[in-house]
Amino acid sequence: VQALSSELRTSKNALNAIQNREKQLLDFRNVVARMLGLDINTLAVPDYEIISRLEKLIQAHHSHAFNTMSMEEALADMEDGFLSGYEDYRRTLGNTEASNYRRSRERVKRKAARCRARSMSPTRKVDPRVY
């Protein structure tokens, strides 16, 4: 009798441990489903839906990570000449932009000199272009 009661107590403890683990697994499933944007109560086959959504998420992550890694490797493998050529081009372009800006200002001044801002005064013989 004592051996049976001891065995029964051990079985009850094991059953309680299994119930606790099952509760933890169900809670985990609910949290994962919520994180994936699924409502566990409305799903017909919750495990299948969760797994299929996880597969899509992992596949998207792998393709993004692969693209990023290959892009970083390609940029790292580029020749130094490309970067130095780009810097030389920017310096040349900067000088060109400064000269374009000067030419643009000169053009505006010439245009302002050609066009009258106001009409000539009939009584005063003053050039209206000069202020």
- Shared domain for 9 and 72, answered yes or no, is yes
- 5's enclosing H/E stretch is helix 2-35
- Shared domain for 25 and 69, answered yes or no, is yes
Average pLDDT, the chain: 77
Where a domain ends, among 77, 100, 126? Answer: 77
Give residue-wise pLDDT tens across range 14-49.
999 999 999 999 999 999 999 998 888 888 888 899
Furthest CA-CA distance within the chain: 134
The number of distinct structural domains making up the chain is 2
Q: How many residues does the chain have?
A: 131
Give residue-wise pLDDT tens across range 6-19.
999 999 999 999 99
SS3 assignment, position 117 = coil
**pLDDT top residue among 91 and 14:** 14
- Shared domain for 50 and 70, answered yes or no, is yes
**Is the C-alpha dihedral spanning 59, 62, 68, 70 positive or negative?**
negative
pLDDT confidence bin for 98, thresholds 50/70/90: low
pLDDT at residue 28, rounded to an integer: 93
- Confirm whether 126 is domain-assigned: no
- Shared domain for 17 and 58, answered yes or no, is yes
In this prediction the pTM is 0.48
- Shared domain for 8 and 71, answered yes or no, is yes
- Shared domain for 69 and 97, answered yes or no, is no
- Shared domain for 4 and 38, answered yes or no, is yes
The 3 state secondary structure assigned to 46-112 is HHHHHHHHHHHHHHHHHHHHHHHHHHHHHHHCCCHHHHHHHHHHHHHHHHHHHHHHHHHHHHHHHHH
Cβ count near 43 (within 10 Å): 13
- Confirm whether 19 is domain-assigned: yes
Question: Of all residues in the chain, what percent carry a pLDDT higher than 70?
Answer: 56
Residue ranges making up the domain that contains 106: 79-115
pLDDT at residue 26, rounded to an integer: 92
